[in-house]
Structure 1
Amino acid sequence: MSKSKNSADTDLSSEQSSIQKITRSVDVAVIGAGTAGQNAFRQASKTTKSIVIINEGFWTTTCVTVGCMPSKLLIAAADRAHDAKYSEQFGIHSEVTINGKQVMARVQAERSHFESYIHKQVDSWPDDKKIAGHAHINKQGLIEVNDELIQADRIIIATGSSPFIPDGWDKKLGDTLFTSDTIFDMSDLPESMAVVGTGAIGLEMAQAFTRLGVAVTVFNRVNRVGGLKDKDINAKAIDCLSADLKMHLDSEITEVGTVFADDSLVAFIDYTDKDGNQVRWEGNQVLVATGRRNNIDQLGVENLGVELDDKNRPKNLKIDTGQIGDLDVYIVGDANAHIPLLHVASDEGYSAGSRVCEQDDEVYIRPPATPFSIIFTSPQIINVGMSQQEIEDDPDLEYVIGKVSFDNQGRSRIMSVNCGLLHIYACKETDKILGASMVGPAAEYIGHILATAITNDICVKQLLDTPFYHPTILEGLRTALRDVQHKMDIPFQSLDTQEDGF
């Protein structure tokens, strides 16, 4: 990748010297072998054999190794333990023993099973196309890796992301500090743990470890969980999750470190609670779940004349293609800090891999038509479409909020999962759904239905014309949709006059 396209010409003698050092020239270099990078490499390989993929670290994906899959494996074990321990109300009594080593062994074994499919794919690629090592783009726009100097006509950056650790915490907490990149490698469950952060990772792990018998304390500097922007849904989520979790919200951590107690090293967190009291927590481990940051700091993109914004994202990034300005450089997946979700990374990698070789103007990154997020706690948390704040900020939108509580919803109560609240934001002018926010049972399925409706411009009346089987948790969705129509003063007909169908 020549720098001359967007920067001052390099001294000729220096340039000639660097050219002499080039070990190979390729049409395409993919940097990073996660979901986006692997898809880009596979797609680009269909149209050129002059390609390499460079990767530092594991040759799998964030999702499989340190994200979606191991976290759900841990949650599955936690749910089994919870159901076994708290079934007295059904007349079922049992003694539950949790074998921490066995729990973690299964998490790691099943993770390895999922990883094996990716390893098989990577192993099928020619060895001369794969380079293990740290890639750096030098001042001549060449890629330095190990003892190689690679000239690439086009570069796809898919270097992913890493957990964010507050300054100095790694040194102060030492071996007691864990992140989502390391927590699944534990050989056993600890006795106690602090979880810092109430995003998806923080909430899911905090609840899972709690249900597996770990004494967990959660910290967050604001009174919010799951990134929820609807204050009523947020309040309900806090209420529901507090049945399991000990949470210190609106707390400010002032210091962290380790001390010796009872002849063993323990972690501590000094914090100011919501009432202004100075308090200290002590325990075995601290899981830092304060978000992730993209991995392009040490890549050398500034040597291509690229400036980064406060999110570590190129200022002239074209979201629709992933291209950086007019350079033949594309940044995809978590590395672009846009939408850090697996299905988005997959699509971005595929699109970039197609574009760099075919130069096809029809190829573009297709962002999700409808924003959609799920947090796999119990109860689950979803956000679909526009948030309430986004709707309120648009002066041209007249909207209503359809609501339903799951506290007394028929099937939810039968299953003893009856804690939840759903808000559906709908446009009065079009009868279309703008967005929704929910904490409650089966939220992942309700979220998919609402996302499909938003994506395909299905109006509220059309949704209500579809069948809602009795008795199901999804009948709660019908109740909220009916509330939307009631508030819009739009008449509807139904054979069932009872809100929850019981």
Structure 2
Amino acid sequence: MNKPSGASTDNTTSKVTRKVSVAVIGAGTAGQNSFRQARKIYDDSIIINEGFWTTTCITVGCMPSKLLIAAADRAHDANHSTAFGIHTTTQIDGKQVMQRVRDERSHFASYIKKQVDSWPDDKKIAGHAHINEQGLIEVNDELIDASQIIVATGSSPSIPDGWADKLGDTMLTSDTVFELTDLPTSLAVVGAGAIGLELAQAFTRLGVAVTLFNQDKRVGGLEDEDINNKAIDCLSRELTMHLGSKIQDVGTQATENDKGSSAFIKYKDSAGELQQWQGEYVLVATGRRNNIKQLGIENLGVELDDKNRPKNLDKKTGQIGDLNVYIVGDANAHIPLLHVASDEGYSAGSMVCKNTDDAYIRPPAIPFSIVFCSPQIVNVGKLLPEIQQDPDLEYVIGSVSFDNQGRSRVMGVNCGLLNIYGCKKTDRVLGASMVGPDAEYIGHILATAITNDLSVKDMLDTPFYHPTILEGLRTALRDVQHKMEIPYQFHDTQENNY
């Protein structure tokens, strides 16, 4: 493998403060895993980090959002139990809700901090790293020559140009929303991806007046139109959504009592009519961008595309071509999910160790995403448009509705649809898309089946306990098998699960 482009030469060696075998830049999930692996072989490995030394997941992502959702679900169940003959009144203490989010977040973060604290002080550097034209890492007062570099600098919220200045203190992102000390009275959420959907629904269930905007008539990143339409149907029963809306301007204006300012959004609705929203905060959830633009990564010979994604990326290890450079986790913008970042970090850390017996490369994760709204949204394996664009794939779609599925109806969560994409040639599951109850568990079963190359028959030969929501998966698998015209004991895809 080649040394990083522009690495130290004789006329720069005298300026170098230290030479190391491996330098990891970024201490999130991918970076920490890379560093742990690299240290197994190279004791001189270092890790450089700017900002918090925990992870995006714990600090501003998965965990605080799920803590908020947990509170919201408790409130929702209490407020919507009349159909079960349970009549209650609830009082939501917004300050206590947000305090628990932060307290529990600190609890989770303490385990990461304990691990970081166990690393030698001279192996971790707090500061902003920049790679200069000689391929050396500049950080604080140091100039570091690293034989191998792993970039794991994560991502940050993507904010439309000018919005931060126009909205000022009324603008929130997923990086700042959990610092609220109390629940707002009103909130606009811009973006109906995973972050936007989860937070919009959670705040709605906690009594906040929420309006969700999205420029496309699409939610949760769904690309299967049937699943997308069903998701909109289910979610719009409690969420105020303006899908297909085009935001024209944002800003602030004085409140009626002149005690501060409120935010506004001017937009064209799906019919093209100019409208205006006004409220306390605007939560911008328009995606995240990788943090490598200002790193100087091009000085290592790395080329980026027009979206700052590295070219020549080995998606299994994060290696860039034949360079001794690895870009992993959210930094490579491949699949920005924690379990993928974790696997890529392990793999990159193993590669720099030459994959000795003390380090190993994890297999690449199949595409698998979950949106923890209610009902949940899951995509696993190949997406439908990807399958449809492959002329060599002969596929069928097996489906099940959860609107009248036995256990789902018992629980009062009977709104949903699952589509499974099966390959007629191989009798294997290519992928699936779902909105519905227990989607996170059904998604895991399908991901395990795809990873372990199980056939549809193999899956149907396993037990499905009655009465469970998971019986819906069996119904969809039977539909796949029936459409493949493969003989099997059962062919009734509309069986009752009660």
Aligned to 1:220: 214
Distance 1:326 1:137 in 2: 19
Task: Tell me the distance in 2 between the aligned counterparts of 1:494 and 1:269.
Answer: 54
Q: Which residue of 2 aligns with 1:68?
A: 62
Q: Find out whether 1:463 has 2:475 as its counterpart.
A: no
Superposition pairs of residues 272-287 of structure 1, within 5 angstroms: 272-287=268-283
1:19-418 matched pairs, under 5 angstroms: 19-262=13-256, 263=258, 264-358=260-354, 364=361, 366-368=363-365, 370-418=366-414
Letter in 2 for 1:212: L
Maintained 8 Å contact 2:478/2:490: no
Alpha-carbon distance change, 324 to 459 in structure 1, aligned in 2, over 3 angstroms: closer
Distance in 1, matches of 2:125 and 2:395, equals 54
Partner SS, residue 145 of structure 2: strand
Give the residue type in structure 2 aligned to 1:102: Q
The aligned residue for residue 419 of structure 1 is 415
State the 1:371 CA deviation.
1.6
- Of all paired residues, the percent bearing the same amino acid is 73
Aligned residues of 2:24 and 2:47 also touching (Cα < 8 A): yes
C-alpha spacing 1:250/1:412, structure 2 compared with 1 (3 Å): same
Deviation, structure 1 residue 482: 1.9
CA RMSD in angstroms comes to 2.1
8 A Cα contact 2:158 2:287, kept in partner: yes
Mean Cα deviation higher: 299-308 or 155-164: 299-308
**Alpha-carbon distance in structure 2 between the residues aligned to 1:497 and 1:140:** 64
* Range with bigger deviation, 461-470 or 121-130: 461-470
Mapped to 2, the partners of 1:358 and 1:2 lie a distance apart of 14
Superposed displacement of residue 76, structure 1: 0.3
**Conserved? CA contact 2:312–2:321, under 8 Å:** yes
Task: Provide the C-alpha distance between the structure 1 equivalents of 2:285 and 2:409, rounded to a whole number of angstroms.
Answer: 33
8 Å contact kept, 1:385–1:436? yes
The answer to whether the 8 A contact 2:398-2:421 is kept is yes
Deviation readout 1:397-426 (Å, 9 max, x if unpaired): 222211111111111111100000111111
Question: How big is the shift at 1:388?
Answer: 1.5
* Equivalent residue letter for 1:237: A
State how far apart, in whole Å, the 2-side matches of 1:464 and 1:357 are. Answer: 42
**Which digits, 9 at most, give the CA deviation of each residue in 1:136-179, with x for residues without a partner?**
01112111111111111111111111110011111111111111
Instruction: Measure, in 2, the Cα distance between the counterparts of 1:467 and 1:500.
Output: 17
Unmatched segments (≥5 aa) in structure 2 = none
2 CA distance for matches of 1:87 and 1:159?
45
Are the counterparts in 2 of residues 173 and 256 from structure 1 also a CA contact under 8 Å? yes
Between the aligned partners of 1:310 and 1:278, the Cα distance in structure 2 is: 32
Residue identity opposite 1:367 in structure 2: P
Quick one: structure 1 residues 485 and 167, their matched pair in 2 at CA, closer, same or farther if it must change by over 3 Å?
same
2:439 aligns with: 443
Closer, same or farther in 2 for the Cα pair 1:341/1:501, shift >3 Å?
Answer: same
Unpaired stretches in structure 1, ≥5 consecutive residues: none
User: 1:431 Cα shift?
Assistant: 2.2
Q: Distance in 1 between matches of 2:372 and 2:205?
A: 14
Deviations 1:223-274 (CA, angstroms, capped at 9, x unpaired): 0001111111100000000011100000100101111122221011110000
The change in CA–CA distance for 1:462 and 1:321 in structure 2 (over 3 A counts) is: closer
Mapped contact 2:213–2:245 kept (Cα < 8 A):
yes
Of residues 345-354 and 201-210 in structure 1, the stretch that sits farther from structure 2 once superposed is 345-354
Q: Is the 8 A contact 1:348 1:366 kept in 2?
A: no
1:491 aligned partner: 487
Contact 1:401 1:424 in 2 (8 A): yes
Q: Helix, strand or coil: the match of 2:483?
A: helix
Output the CA distance in 2 between the equivalents of 1:373 and 1:436: 11
The CA deviation at 1:467 is 1.6
**Which segment is superposed worse, 299-308 or 184-193?**
299-308
State the TM-score, normalized to the length of structure 1.
0.94
SS of 1:21's partner is coil
- Aligned partners of 1:322 and 1:365 also within 8 Å: no
Please say if residues 412 and 473 of structure 1, whose CA atoms lie closer than 8 Å, have aligned partners that are also in contact: yes
Q: C-alpha separation between the residues in 2 aligned to 1:408 and 1:483?
A: 16
2: CA distance, partners of 1:496 / 1:299: 58
* Structure-2 residue corresponding to 1:501: 497
- Distance across 1 between alignment mates of 2:35 and 2:394: 46
Dislocated runs of 4+, deviation >4 Å:
359-365, 494-498
Q: Distance in 2 between matches of 1:6 and 1:314?
A: 15
Displacement of 1:428 after TM fit?
Answer: 2.0
Amino acid in structure 1 at the alignment position of 2:20: V
Q: CA deviation at 1:471?
A: 1.0
> How far apart are the structure 2 equivalents of 1:161 and 1:182?
14
CA–CA distance in structure 2, aligned partners of residues 325 and 459 of structure 1:
35
Q: Hey, what's the Cα distance between the residues in 2 that align with 1:353 and 1:387?
A: 30
